[in-house]
Chains A and B, each alone.
Chain A
Amino acid sequence: MMIIAEHLEQTYRSGDTALTVLRQVDLTVAPEEFVAVMGPSGSGKTTLLGLLAGLDTPTRGTVRLDGHDLNRLSEDARARLRAEKVGFVFQTFQLIPTLTALENVLVPIELRGAAGPAALHRARELLDRVGLAARMDHYPAQLSGGEQQRVGLARAFAGEPRVLFADEPTGSLDAETGATVIDLLVALNRDARTTLMLVTHDPALARRARRVIRLAAGAIVSDTPADTA
């Protein structure tokens, strides 16, 4: 299994009040599976993604990511694991403003210390793939939202991750641009055979997944194959 989450529970405490955001989440995701996560705003989707990627530690429960028990890893070790196996696509693109498109794509590779001509070639190829061959040396501020997210896609695949987490990747885009981005995401994912976990509000997009998980108030309310969703 790629991801195994058992009895996940996340409680945020601020002062005296405790807020349980996730409760009793059990989940397994097989390699190369494409899972869509849906649910109303505030239902805990982002929290779940964060825990699965080791961005935060759960109040209770365990996560195994590609065989590693995240609770047993230090923060730096989890970071190294992410650098090697995890890719991200964000709702707000999250490009580094001081780096060009090409440099942004190179970041995950460089963080692994694997920069070189081969990496450069791969980054160029990816940018070409998302249709930005002519914009490689542009800074994020010089790109439109859709273009920025396409750079985000290229960056997500640059490190050849085993798992890709995408949190509402079209949330900040208009429908048309969003559709292009999704087409690209699905295509890239198919080629790279990456495990994909995608949070979305868009039923049309969810339908492209093999499996849909629905969250409500921090708990999984349904987990079904896409066609029946």
Chain B
Amino acid sequence: MSGRFALVMAWRESRGNRRRLMLTVTAVSLGVAALVAINSFSADVTASVRSQARSLLGADVELRSRAPFPDSVAAVLDSMSRAGVAVARVTSFASMVLAPRTGVTRLFEIRAVDGGFPFYGAVTTAPPGRWAELATRRGVLVDTAVLVHLDARVGDTVTIGEARFEIAGVVTSSPGEVGLRAALGPRVFLPARYLPDTRLLRFGSLARYRAYLRLPDDAAVQRFLNQHNALFERHRIGRDTAAEREDDLADALGRLARYLGLVGLAALLLGGLGVASAIRVFVRDRIDAAATLRCLGAATRVVFGIYLAQAVALGLAGATLGAALGIAVQALLPLVLRDLLPVDVAMTVHWPAVLTGLAIGTGIAALFALLPLLDLRRVPPLRALRRDFDADPRRRDPLRVGVYAVLAAALVALAMWQAPSRGIGAGFAAAVALTTAILWLIATGLVRATRRWFPTRARYVVRQGIANLFRPQNQTVPVVLAIGFGVFLIATLYVVQRSLLDQLAVDARPDRPNLVLFDIQVDQREGVAALVADRLTAAPSLTPLVPARIAAINGRVVDSILADTTGRGPSRWALRREYRNTYRDTLVASEQLVAGAWWHGVQTRGEPWRVSVEQDLAAELGIGVGDAIRWNVQGVPVDTRVASLRRVDWARFEPNFFVVFEPGVLEAAPQTFVLLARAEDPGRRAELQRDVVVAYPNVSVLDLTDVQRTLDRVLGQVALAIRFMALFSVGSGLVILIGALRASRLQRLREAALLKTLGARGRQIRDILLTEYLTWGSLAALTGVALATLASWMLARWVFEIAVRIPVLGLAGIWGAVCLLTVAVGLGTGREVLRATPLRTLRELSE
């Protein structure tokens, strides 16, 4: 009956501690909440994607090409149309749009749409019903952002190229689109029949051509694609079906959710650490009781069972609380991720996710509790008689090793289960172990250093406050580690985001251009250059762009290389894409030679022309210095030899090129020009854009400060989502802090009472507490920031390949916030200590 006895005793034993212990287990709750929320939400999103699949694409099949559809493809589409299949075409490109009333001009995406697209899902407009009216009315619909940028309103006229249109309304939502989309690249929707009026699509214009079909069923879709497969392949026409789009999207969102889930898992593991350190304190309080039970004849197993049962029950309670919280958070997630989601998400409670969360939470709590609980197995009964009789600490407990092994296995298994792939899971587990180890090292190092370089000359209250960190049974290291982990997540995110934005900042760098003019035709280049030079002091620089495709590599034609299906050949993408090459006689600032030599002097007649290839592309193509490439430049073959490889810093807003030709060969080829300029004053930039668009309607001007703002927003959105998940770790850290403060409550009360008895004033007690919490916060912040600096440096260097910029002021801000938070939490839970009556010292109050 020892099992029953253990359970009954467990229940009785927990009396009076339940409240305090409950706080401990909420450390697991937050992690469980994060997991339940993100996994339930993920299931919601998948279900929504499945149910809204066809409207994601708006059709059953999409065909797309970077060049106008050739006649053979157009003929197929026409015949489908004659056979009664709904066919719609959408052409999109970038162009300047001018609002004459306000005089503002800006680059937008133009979408020329026809034929009742989309076939599934509805585009909603304000005023309503305007989408359908486009079929009969000469007008355009715009994203809201267009009106904002142009300072225009519905009913105004806009100039696009050489035509004028009335703004008929605003598109408020279109199916299958991410909320952020309309704000990032605002669009103007134009009936396709008016496209020729604009006279915008000229040589070298970057445009995307798409055709959409509505077919009766999946079988018809497959038949259509199979029948024309060869034709589409030949003309490099991409295909997408509603089913594929559905799968891709479900996959992508699933991956996103799984990544976010990893952040939640980190919070849970942190909570586990919190449980371990709280249970350790609990066990120390319980050693005497355990010894008494042993004296009275309880077996080790039973004593251990009594406390293990309590730990499991607590874990279950914490996990239950967490699961409930998770369901609430699940309802909140669509708001956080709103702008990143292409579908409306309906919320349902997913019991598998909830139950898994419960099981994982309870398991983690129990496992982490086991570590300190094992000590109870070794309590000698003699302790009940002689207080100072301790277990021999040198005796190794083989079970302890077992628990560590199970913990490690659980970590790896959980990470693999939650991560998008096994590799990422294993990497995550390793990263968690490493991060914890480093954080632990930093935390113990800092705590030791504080003790070692104790400010012996400081005021008494300061010394006493710092000494408190080292009180017996202190939890300084776990708390510093827990809060440090939260700080680490937040600070890393912050530093990386800052570094990315910094890298792209055009404002702050006077040497970088902030205006890009492109699609400049050969006969316009002098005029445009003169116009720009006239308005800006600096001389603009023109860069030629020559479209070309690869015809052959080292004598093998592309089609034959592609036909080789051994799978080790160069990538399809690299072989088939249209390159936009340039020619010049010098390297530019964003380039660095890594192999071969740059050209000097003129090439000997009859030899192949020299080109320089970007190193990653060279790797994709499987070529190096000395290899031969034959180019197809608008139908004319040009033979070249790779003379050098370059590294390119793509992160700059400058025209960078995969392939640079030596001067002398491409000058006569059909080409367009890009012009870079810089104007500090926004008014100047606006003026220049207007003048250019009036004189040269086909030339587009990109204001890089706008692009930067847009990137800011995207990064901000993504960072927001991650930060939201990171908050769970911060929360766990806080719970651990509160738990530690509660655990030392009795000691604090006694000490405060004693000091008051000896004559300490309220302010002195408060200063002692303040010092203690400030030191605590500082150590935690320092721990987190130190590791964050290291991690962001590594991320910046190896993942993003950018220079890391440590925002000292921002980090100092984080530091301050953490100190403030720690002090607030400390003083919040410490009011009782400040009010402790001195009489307590004389009366040995026990609780």
Contact = CB atoms under 8 A, between A and B. Distances in A.
Interface stretch (A26-34, A103-111, A186-194, A213-221): A103-111
B471 interface: yes
B374 interface: no
A198 to B, nearest CB: 13
A174 B338 CA distance: 73
A96 B460 CA distance: 13
Contacts of B164: none
B762 A76 contact: yes
B339 interface: no
Contacts of B757: 53, 55, 82, 88
Nearest to B747: A97
Interface stretch (B11-19, B316-324, B813-821, B833-841): B833-841
Contacts of A86: 759
Contacts of B838: 50, 55-56, 79
A68 interface: no
Given A92-B844, A98-B470, A76 B837 contact: no
Interface string A38-61: 000000001001100101100000
B763 interface: yes
Given A46-B842, A55-B842, A91-B844, A79 B471 contact: no
B837 to A, nearest CB: 7
A99 interface: yes
A141 interface: yes
A124 B757 CA distance: 23
Given A92-B844, A97-B471, A111-B460, A56 B837 contact: yes
Nearest to B840: A55
Given A49-B842, A55-B842, A111 B472 contact: no
B844 A111 contact: no
Contacts of A79: 756, 759-762, 838
A98 B468 contact: yes
A107 B757 CA distance: 11
Contacts of B761: 76, 79-80
A160 interface: no
A111 B763 contact: no
A80 B464 CA distance: 18
A50 B842 CA distance: 8
A55 B839 contact: yes
B507 interface: no
A56 B756 contact: no
A96 B759 contact: no
Interface string B79-101: 00000000000000000000000
Of A46, A88, A106, most buried by chain B (CB within 10 Å of CB) is A88
Given A46-B842, A82-B757, A97-B472, A55 B837 contact: yes
A90 B841 CA distance: 8
A142 to B, nearest CB: 11
Nearest to B754: A94
A227 to B, nearest CB: 29
B758 A108 contact: yes
Interface in A72-119: 75-76, 79-84, 86, 88, 90-92, 94, 96-99, 103, 106-108, 110-113, 115
Contact of B841 (A94, A107, A115, A155): A94
Nearest to B758: A108
Contacts of B471: 97-98
B764 interface: yes
B654 interface: no
B719 interface: no
A103 B464 CA distance: 10
A3 to B, nearest CB: 17
Contacts of A111: 460, 755, 758-760, 764
Of B470, B472, B758, B843, most buried by chain A (CB within 10 Å of CB) is B758
A147 interface: no
A111 B756 CA distance: 10
A167 interface: yes
Interface in B804-847: 837-839, 841-844
Contacts of B754: 94, 96
A121 B839 CA distance: 31
A218 to B, nearest CB: 15
Of B762, B764, B842, most buried by chain A (CB within 10 Å of CB) is B842
Interface in B605-639: none
B839 A50 contact: yes
Nearest to B466: A98
Given A49-B842, A91-B844, A99 B756 contact: no
A82 B839 CA distance: 13
B74 to A, nearest CB: 86
A111 B468 CA distance: 16
B578 interface: no
A110 B842 CA distance: 22
A84 B470 contact: no
A17 to B, nearest CB: 19
Contacts of B764: 111
A12 B660 CA distance: 93
Of A75, A79, A91, A92, most buried by chain B (CB within 10 Å of CB) is A79
A98 B471 CA distance: 5
A31 to B, nearest CB: 20
Contact of B759 (A46, A106, A108): A108
Interface string B709-753: 000000000000000000000000000000000000001001100
A115 B468 CA distance: 20
A99 B755 CA distance: 13
B243 interface: no
A46 B844 CA distance: 11
B467 interface: yes
A49 B842 CA distance: 9
Contacts of A88: 757-758, 841
A1 B842 CA distance: 25
A56 B843 CA distance: 12
Given A76-B763, A99-B464, A110-B460, A83 B842 contact: no
Contacts of B759: 79-84, 86, 108, 111-112, 159
B464 A82 contact: no
A113 B801 CA distance: 57
B472 A141 contact: yes
Nearest to A112: B759
Contacts of A56: 837-839
A167 B755 CA distance: 16
B110 to A, nearest CB: 73
A77 B323 CA distance: 52
A113 B459 CA distance: 9
A94 B755 CA distance: 10
A107 B758 contact: yes
Contacts of A90: 841-842
B776 to A, nearest CB: 14
A16 B655 CA distance: 86
Of A75, A86, A141, A155, most buried by chain B (CB within 10 Å of CB) is A75
B821 to A, nearest CB: 24
A141 B390 CA distance: 14
Contacts of B839: 50, 55-56
Contacts of B464: 96, 98-99
A53 B464 CA distance: 24
A169 B585 CA distance: 95
Contacts of B472: 97-98, 141
Nearest to B760: A111
Given A56-B839, A79-B761, A111-B460, 8 more contacts: A55-B837, A55-B838, A84-B759, A91-B844, A97-B472, A98-B472, A103-B463, A115-B460
9 contacts: A55-B756, A56-B839, A84-B759, A94-B750, A96-B755, A98-B470, A98-B471, A108-B759, A111-B460
Interface of B: 460, 463-464, 467-468, 470-472, 747, 750-751, 754-764, 837-839, 841-844
Closest 10 CB pairs of A and B: A83-B759, A110-B460, A82-B759, A98-B467, A55-B838, A76-B761, A55-B839, A50-B839, A56-B839, A79-B761
